[in-house]
Structure 1
Amino acid sequence: MSQDDALLCVQRHATSKISSVDDLEKIITYGFRGEALASIAAVSQLEIKTRREEDQLATYIRFSDSNELLVEKVAFQKGTSVTVKNLFYNVPARRNFLKSNTTELKHIIETFKRVSLSHPEISFKFYNDDDLLFDFAAGSLLDRMKSVFADNIDEALLEVEEVTDYITLTGYVTKPNYLRKSKGDQYFFLNKRYVINKTINHAVFSAFENILEKGDYPFFVLFMEVDPKKVDVNVHPSKLEVKFDDEREIYAFVHAVVRKTIGSYDLVPQVTLDDNGTTEQKLRPQNFRNIDKYDFSDRPAVERETKKYNEEDLRRLFHLDDEINAASAPQSAPHPFESRPLQKEVTHRFESTQEKESETPFIVLLHNKYILSQIKSGLMIIDAHVAHERILYEQALNSFNANIPFSQHLLFPQVVDMDPADYELTKELEPYLTNLGFTLKFKPKYRVEIIGIPSDLKTEHEVDTLLDIIHEYRKNQQEKILDVKDNLAKSYSCKAAIKAGDKLDEKEMRILVDKLFATSMPYVCPHGRPIIIKIPIEEFDKRFGRT
């Protein structure tokens, strides 16, 4: 700064952050009122040294004991240094409210980390009693996070990046196995300003859905760029709180982007058998392997062969040549042995099909509960019930949003006798049940006639399923699941999914696995139970003495 600016910067309401009234509508700086340096100078011994590149000497200003502003010219490097000593020395009542040195140092370090994270392109150093505690070199955000948190933090991170014309969200969220027990490890920067916003935090938490157990919090460092005119930073003097013009839209955007990020990585945990010398062995989730975005190669193979047919193939496929030959050939009884060449061709086709199937990774159903499938790294185990639950849950949510019901009408409508409470609740939920595929008619004396059911529902269980859905919905209400659509989707998926003990053939299992991995969150069911685990081939080798 020049000497004039240095003398002016410690005066109240002197600021270089705004130059016109319009700037008040688009504040992108940390401050704008011109109160910070003036307030600090009023309660401490403040010294400022500053020199521009074209100046020979630096300007040095400080306040005397009588609060007189002193100005000197001194030798100093290019830049500005602000020194604050004896904070609250002249306000003893306020000074008594300070915590211990350790506690205050912790607060200062936390503030230092926030500022250094917001500007990774700037180098930062932190001294405490002449001891250098932190020395952060300029670099990328990931480099700065390694300096602030841990060198190997990149192993626990998923990169978030979504750029639109209106809003941009970048940064990192943690993998599910690196969840924290502390709320203090969430860093959200709005236009490079650190803020605390419950809406954003909840959007991130809900994006992790039921991966979070009670007491777990995801670690994240997120940067949002948005038009400053759409944000109010004057909610609180500390400017840690902000208010958005459309909080619902911001919430939906953050939730969708973080959820998409989690779904873009293969986050199925590997498990190993804990051999601690006892007969009891437990399945213990291990760290997720490092994978690239959209790398789903370590999953059951799905056959989607698209065969192209030429004109000759099409003629054979639809038996056009046979029809022509049959029309032109004389009508006579076939010879008994003329079918042998055809039998040979069928046998050849069967053998080639069998050979093709042998190359396909196996898939089996264990005790009518678990689907076992070969994958690149070993064995994948899928809980069939919760996998189907996840599929139906997302289908239900999509049905609510699309508002296009698909229903299969029953040949013989079913009548359900309900108690008055269930009858009224069913009547209240009818629009949502209709979107799911139910077609209901309400009769006198608390009777409900089921005319149509969702296409995924088995026809012999429609009455029990409807009652179970209503009872599950009521139970979820008591557990504080307040959103009607989410509650009903969870209730429907829980009661309409295949049950343990239901037999599936190979085709049904492959379709179930295929649909599972097409969902946005194939790792946990809507109620938080794990769907998939992997056992690496190395674990089998160890158990069979191959290592």
Structure 2
Amino acid sequence: MSINTIALLPDHVANQIAAGEVVQRPASVVKELLENAIDAGATYIKLIIKDAGKSLIQVIDNGKGMNPFDARMCFERHATSKINKADDLFTLTTKGFRGEALASIAAIAQVELKTKQEEDLVGQHIVMEGGKMISQSECQTPTGTSFIIKNLFYNIPARRNFLKSDQVEQKHIIDEVERIAIPHTNVHFVLQSNGNEILNLPQGNLMQRIKSLLGSYIQKELVQINEDTSFVKIAGYVSLPGSAVKTKKEQYFFVNNRFVKNPFLNHAIYEAYKELISFQSHPKYFIFLELDPKHIDINIHPTKTEVKFTDDKTVYMLLLSSIKRALGKANVSPSLDFESETGIQHENAEVGKVYTQPKISYNTNYNPFHSPASNAGNPALEKANKQNWESMFEGFKNNTETVMAAPEQEQQLMEEIKKESIDFSVFQLNFKYIITAYNQNVMIVDQQRAHERIVYEHYMNSKKENSVPSQQLLFPEQIEMSANDFSLVKGLLDEFKFLGFEFEVFGKNSIVVNGTPADMQDFNVVQTIEGIIETYKLNTIDAKVEKKDNLCRAIAKNISIKYGKALEQEEMKLLLNHLMQCENPLYTANGKVVMMNVEYNDVERFFKK
């Protein structure tokens, strides 16, 4: 008799598996609980976290609350008040609808719920642990709901080990709060972390909400979009081309007030900025699409951040045109005239005029693959033609060994140039390269990369007992930043101080700069520090480096000599002499080539041809 091998999973195991799709990190729990609070009609939501949500996540709202039966049922799988039949999926106006969130959260954490409806005298207090009901009792609580999530993944230690540092996890939580807070400007949001208030966003309009989240500076960088068509309504803000940044930040797409990710529509935005922003630069945008729910499908991913449209191409073209129109109004690109009819514009016909079909003349004997008749049959000209064509490919015939130096050659070159002292003539080419001669060879140096290498090693080689000296500012500068950038800077305060920066936390998401490194006195303090933060974040994406190393790279990138700066003879000599003393003068910290060496023998061979 055969043995049965297929069996139904126990409910608590099934819930833990479902939790793997819905709850990936503390930010996933925050997202689900905030969306439930929004659906409950809350106008005030307070989020409290400890240890970036690993120890505690508490969401308190003043929504409509739940009765005793609903309070118990909300923890069951596929229990939802949002839909009753499959057709309801195409008329959704709420955030959550799957009925998996609370069941999944309860399966991998210790959960406490307090809730009360306005007409009830007492509320309900429910305690869950590992997906099992521990107790349900009556309690005194204000109208609304309070969820307390403790010790996330306590019963799945392997999942808990995959969580990142508190700084990274808190960043993800702030991201989720921002994505929910931006479209719901009628809700007052408060975020507290380890007893400190991170965000306090009172009710207001969209621009006020954006400024509260990202800083007042952003208002002057944005232009408004507002287009209403029969298929979709497009509203929001996009940034001016001059405000494009090197990292993809402050990019928000909302469909019916739900944050979504859609590469197809993202392409439409970048297409609108084509030839307006430089390569690898990214615009900022806060775009809201509003259309009939029957034209979208949001039930394609457990986190509900992906969406499909019944007519992608129409949405794409309308979005592209709307952004171009907005930029046109700001006088940064040609504007599209939405008032005119699409189609061919005809000139007024003259009465009595006879119109004839235009004639086109062309050479019927023309063949692009044949030489002109005058050259046909001429062997000398045909041979010359062939040589001209072959000369186009001469540059590709170089052996790779001559293009890229071997490691032994690089080491030898490094040793040779370190012995040299630049005390003879140097000159600047196109305000970008420094050219000099040494040991009968010619050396071409990229001035910005060379100074970048020098500054990087200067900061990297500074020791704890001999930190970089700081220059006090006569007038301290205040910098307002986003919650994520503020959190990043707070985590780097010790590193900044060691490298000569003196910061002081001022208010919620602001710092005051009291001092900077002595060699930064000629730079705009605010712009330079903002550039350092952006470069630091970009380095974090591109390469995994230690904090001090990353910060030194970012500082070197932003305070080094830039292309276009005219240098005196003594400045160029000093720059080259300092470069020769570097541990690795051939490359920047990011691996870019600093100099080019042209040997005397190569020059001799060239002129002997």
Taking structure 2 as the reference length, the TM-score comes to: 0.45
Structure 1 or 2, whichever has the larger Rg, is: 1
- TM-score w.r.t. length of structure 1: 0.50
